Structures are given as C-alpha cells and as structure tokens.
C-alpha cells in the first residue's frame, strides 16, 4: 500500500462512520436541530434518535425520549427498525430513510421492528418536530 493510500484510509473510515452514524429525526422531545420543513404541511416525525447501520440493513433506536411519538407507540432504545411502511431499510440512503420517517403531523408510519429475535409492526403517529415547535414561539 502506498504512503498516500495509508494516509487516506483513516480519513475514509472516519467519513464513512460519520455518514452512517447518526440520524436525528424530527419530533425529538428534547429539542435539537431538526431537519426543516420539507413541504407545505406541518412537519412531524417519530421523535427518536437513530443510528443507521447500513452493513446490517437496519436503523438502531439509539434514544427514545419519554413522551415522544416513538415512546408513546411503545418503542424503546435498543430495538431495530428493518422496514418503514413495508419498504426495507437495507439499501436506502440516510436521506431516503429520513424522507420515509418524516411526514405531516398526525399521519401514521408503520415500522417493522425487531426486538430480540421477534419482528412486529408498530404504528407511530408522527408528532411535531422540535424545529416546528420552536418556530411557533
């Protein structure tokens, strides 16, 4: 391996980890940056922080704030999402996943969730994003 290739390998690994590491989805009860309004409707999300694990084809529920949409639906940290509205997570980009999870407040997204060795569909009603709530103040 050339000296240049050895020097660039850590940077490439760090960049790859950064791209797939963390998605902050709208509706997080603790606030945060949000993603902004993607259209004319009131933006909402599932209210959880997720880690994208593209090599495993899943989203890991990293943080599920109490009182948020995901928590109200019974989701907890550590569960994995394998599909969103019937579409597999595997092979999707972070932007595609965010677009599937976000939507108008009050609409429902169905998540295929794996807990232990069992999978089940969980309906989550999207709640207002932190950005939308903050803009109303």
CB of 92 closer than 8 Å to CB of 116: no
CB of 65 closer than 8 Å to CB of 30: yes
**Tens-place pLDDT, residues 17-68:** 333 334 444 333 333 333 333 445 678 999 999 999 999 999 999 999 999 9
Q: What is the pLDDT of residue 117?
A: 85
The rounded distance, in Å, linking the Cα atoms of 24 and 61 is: 11
Q: What is the pLDDT of residue 92?
A: 94
Domain boundaries, the chain: 21-135
State the pLDDT confidence band at 130, using cuts at 50, 70 and 90.
low
Exposure string (b/e) for 51-60, b if CB count within 10 Å is 16 or more?
A: ebebeeebbe
Mean pLDDT of the chain: 76
**Correct CATH for 21-135 of 3.90.1520.10, 1.20.58.2240, 2.30.42.10, 1.10.10.60:** 2.30.42.10
> Closest Cα to residue 108, out of 27, 46, 30, 65?
46
Q: What is the pLDDT of residue 41?
A: 60
Residue 84 pLDDT exceeds 80: yes
Q: What is the pLDDT of residue 134?
A: 45
Length of the chain (residues): 137
DSSP for 5-17 reads HHHHHHHHHHHHH
Residue 13 pLDDT exceeds 50: no
**Tens-place pLDDT, residues 100-114:** 999 999 999 999 999
Token duo for residue 97: 């996943």
CB of 121 closer than 8 Å to CB of 73: no
> Closest Cα to residue 20, out of 70, 91, 85, 69?
91
Higher pLDDT, 97 or 116: 97
């Amino acid at each position: 391996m050339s000296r240049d290739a050895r020097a660039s390998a850590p940077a490439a690994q760090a960049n790859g980890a950064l791209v797939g590491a963390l998605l902050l989805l709208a509706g997080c009860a603790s606030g945060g940056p949000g993603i902004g309004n993607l259209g004319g409707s009131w933006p909402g999300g599932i209210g959880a922080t997720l880690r994208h694990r593209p090599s495993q084809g899943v989203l890991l529920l990293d943080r599920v704030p109490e009182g948020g949409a995901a928590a109200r639906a019974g989701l907890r940290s550590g569960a994995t999402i394998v599909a969103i509205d019937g579409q597999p997570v595997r092979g999707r980009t972070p932007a595609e996943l965010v677009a599937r999870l976000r939507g108008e407040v009050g609409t429902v997204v169905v998540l295929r969730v794996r807990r232990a060795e069992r999978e089940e569909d969980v309906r989550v009603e999207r709640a207002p994003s932190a950005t939308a709530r903050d803009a109303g103040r």
